[in-house]
Structure 1
Amino acid sequence: MDVVKVVDLCKFYGTGNTKVEALKNINLTIKQGEFVAVVGASGSGKSTLLHLLGGVDKPTSGKVYIDGVDIYGLSEKELAIFRRRKVGFIFQFYNLVPVLTAEENMLLPLLLDTKKVNKDHFEELVNILGLQDRRHHLPNELSGGQQQRVSIGRALAYSPSIVLADEPTGNLDSKNSKEIIDLLKISVRKYNQTLILITHDLNIASQADRIITIGDGNIIKDEVINSEIL
């Protein structure tokens, strides 16, 4: 089943001599449960693609479907709700709320939506992330690796269809980076979620089911690594 479908997606900035074509007629499908790594040089369009897939930026033209829904056919309010429920974001900078505990940060999307917490699912997530003894700590009482674990928990708390990760290990040392990638792989496999991850690290990319290489706003290579998933 295709959970993501992109049709003729374009994103341009500026006009005339200052016009920048960040993405040019991207066509792409991604299946449920797939781990896709997106690689490419700085300025190639990787982050632009991720932002458009997540509904945090608007395309110049083209369509993005998530779970069959044309997300840019939604109103701003509808899109905000859809994004909160269907898309989990993990960033290089953890973006945790400093006055909330690790547990409160993880539950924030549910609390914003006034949704009842599935306690069994949440406890399982806390255990997978190894945050049992850190759940009541504030962000400034956590290491960088622990803060990133909390941000992963926040992204997964709503059981989204897709998880979008933009250089999630960019601020971490090699040991923590490996642990974070291992945790993401375990989580998305366990909950059959789709993970789309931007990275400059080819060692991380090589662990994906598929590697998409972006160059000058185009997909220049789309390579299947793990054919068992696809």
Structure 2
Amino acid sequence: MEILRVENLNKIYGSGDNQIHALRDISFRVEKGEFVAITGPSGSGKSTLLHLLGGVDTPTSGSIFVDGRDIFLKTVGEMAIYRRRQIGLVYQFYNLIPTLNVEQNITLPLQLDGRRVNQEHLSGLLEILGLSKAAKQKPRQLSGGQQQKAAIGRALIHAPAFLLADEPTGNLDSVTRQEIVELLKYSNKYYKQTLIVITHDESIALQAGHLIEICDGKVRTDKVVN
């Protein structure tokens, strides 16, 4: 079942001689529950696309349909709810709040949304992430891999429909990289979430079932591999 449709998406920054055409008529579709890897060279528009999918930026033209509705026709309030409840974002840099412990960082999206923390769900998530013993520790007390796991937990705590990850393993060693990928794949399978990962890592891309390659702001290839 189709959950995401991108149609003729364009994003232009600046004007006149300083104009940068980051995305050019991008179009593709994603089925619910797919693991999608978006690849391409630096500067190809991958991160711009991810920010648009997450509703944290707006296009110059074109549409993004989620469950059949153009997200950019939502009101300001509806868009805020979309970002808080349907999207989980994971970045290369963990962006944890240094004064909060692991548990507080993970549950922060629920607190900001005025929602109650389900302690059973939180405990299960900490166990899956391997962070149960580190739940009361601050980010400075964690390894890079543990910090990224906490960032993934923060993205998963509100059970979003989409998990969007932008180079989530870029700062990690090879063993920890695969641990993070396995966590993302687990969330894709166990929570039935649609997973979209921006990556330069070919080994990660080869584990996805849907590959999209972007070059110079355009879709070069779009193929479902399994």
Fold similarity call, TM over 0.5: yes
| CA distance in 1: counterparts of 2:88 and 2:38, whole angstroms | 17
| CA distance in 2: counterparts of 1:133 and 1:67, whole angstroms | 39
The percentage of aligned residue pairs carrying the same residue is: 53
Higher deviation after alignment, 121-130 or 209-218: 121-130
What RMSD over aligned residues (CA atoms) do the two structures have, in Å? 1.1
Q: What amino acid does structure 2 have at the position aligned with 1:45?
A: G
| CA distance in 1: counterparts of 2:31 and 2:122, whole angstroms | 25
Structure 1 runs of 4+ with >4 Å offset? none
The Cα of 1:65 is off from its aligned counterpart by: 1.8
| CA distance in 1: counterparts of 2:69 and 2:99, whole angstroms | 35
SS of the residue 2:56 aligns to: coil
1:189 aligns with 2:219: no
Tell whether the 8 Å contact from 2:28 to 2:222 is kept in structure 1 after alignment.
no
| CA distance in 2: counterparts of 1:212 and 1:156, whole angstroms | 24
The Cα of 1:7 is off from its aligned counterpart by: 1.3
The Cα of 1:121 is off from its aligned counterpart by: 2.2
Higher deviation after alignment, 57-66 or 73-82: 73-82
Question: What is the aligned partner in structure 2 of residue 177 from structure 1?
Answer: 177
Question: What is the aligned partner in structure 2 of residue 85 from structure 1?
Answer: 85
Higher deviation after alignment, 115-124 or 189-198: 115-124
SS of the residue 1:177 aligns to: helix
Q: How many residues align?
A: 226
TM-score (norm 2): 0.97
- For 1:144-188, what per-residue CA distance to the aligned partner results, in whole angstroms no more than 9, with x for missing partners? 000000000000000000000000001111111010001110121
| CA distance in 1: counterparts of 2:119 and 2:181, whole angstroms | 25
Unaligned runs of 5+ in 2: none
Unaligned runs of 5+ in 1: none
Q: What amino acid does structure 1 have at the position aligned with 2:133?
A: D
The Cα of 1:119 is off from its aligned counterpart by: 2.6
- For 1:86-145, what per-residue CA distance to the aligned partner results, in whole angstroms no more than 9, with x for missing partners? 000000000000111100100011011111122332222111111110111111111100
Q: What amino acid does structure 1 have at the position aligned with 2:77?
A: K
1:72 aligns with 2:79: no
Q: Following superposition of structure 1 onto structure 2, how do residues 97-108 of structure 1 map, counting pairs within 5 Å?
A: 97-108=97-108
Higher deviation after alignment, 69-78 or 125-134: 69-78
The Cα of 1:67 is off from its aligned counterpart by: 2.9
Question: What is the aligned partner in structure 1 of residue 135 from structure 2?
Answer: 135
SS of the residue 1:26 aligns to: strand
SS of the residue 2:7 aligns to: strand
SS of the residue 1:133 aligns to: helix
| CA distance in 1: counterparts of 2:123 and 2:44, whole angstroms | 39
Tell whether the 8 Å contact from 1:39 to 1:199 is kept in structure 2 after alignment.
yes
- For 1:55-76, what per-residue CA distance to the aligned partner results, in whole angstroms no more than 9, with x for missing partners? 1111001111223332111233
Question: What is the aligned partner in structure 2 of residue 114 from structure 1?
Answer: 114
Question: What is the aligned partner in structure 2 of residue 161 from structure 1?
Answer: 161
| CA distance in 2: counterparts of 1:67 and 1:153, whole angstroms | 25
Higher deviation after alignment, 135-144 or 118-127: 118-127
SS of the residue 1:204 aligns to: helix
TM-score (norm 1): 0.95
The Cα of 1:84 is off from its aligned counterpart by: 0.7
